[in-house]
Structure 1
């Protein structure tokens, strides 16, 4: 009997790798550009440390916004994009009939509570 092995990388590992690779490039590049701009304007001799701190805070803010939008529950289901009227039509074979029955049952429960 042949055996199959799943060699796919977990999603959290891919996110962590991208977080560190993109984050490192963003933070380093932003800090260097800010340091060059501050030195070019003659505001300070060496502003790399404050520029680095600013870049880290900016990157963490971007990541926080991304994480909040990624974990938002609004678009978590593919059924969100499909109109109710198409459940028993073109999407019947992919679970549309069961989905319609579930939504009808939930709707009936809500109506009976009112």
Structure 2
């Protein structure tokens, strides 16, 4: 019997890599632009460190906003992006019919409760 080794990488590793790759490019670019603006206006002699700190804070704020927006709604379900009218149409074969039946049952229970 042949032995196999699973070399797949967890999703969080991919996310962390992209976070650092895109974040590093964003922070470096914004910090450089802010430094050019600050020095161009003659506000300070060398403003790269404050510009770098501002760029890091801006990137973290953008990531926090994106994180909260993607975590809201239906518990992160992929179905939250699909309109209810497409459950029995385009997405019927990928579980749309079952999803529609589940949501209808939940609505019925909520209506009975009221």
What TM-score bracket applies, with the shorter chain setting the length? 0.7 to 0.9
Aligned Cα root-mean-square deviation (Å): 2.7
Q: Measured at CA, do residues 16 and 92 of structure 1 come closer, stay the same or move farther in structure 2, by a change above 3 Å?
A: closer
- From the superposition, tell whether residues 113 and 12 of structure 1 become closer, same or farther in structure 2 (CA, over 3 Å): same
The match for 1:59 is 59
| Superposed CA offset, 1:61-99 (max 9, x none) | 111111112212246233752535853x66554444433
Residue of structure 2 equivalent to 1:50: 50
Paired residues, what number?
Answer: 113
Distance apart, 1:111 and its partner CA: 2.1
Greater C-alpha radius of gyration: 1
Counterpart Cα distance in 2 of 1:95 and 1:107 = 18
1:9-65: per-residue Cα shift (whole Å, max 9, x none)? 222111111111111121122112211221122111111111111111111111111
Contact 1:35 1:48 survives alignment (8 Å): yes
Q: For residue 51 of structure 2, give the secondary structure of its aligned residue in structure 1.
A: helix
Matches within 5 A, 1:14-53: 14-53=14-53
Gaps of 5+ in 1: none
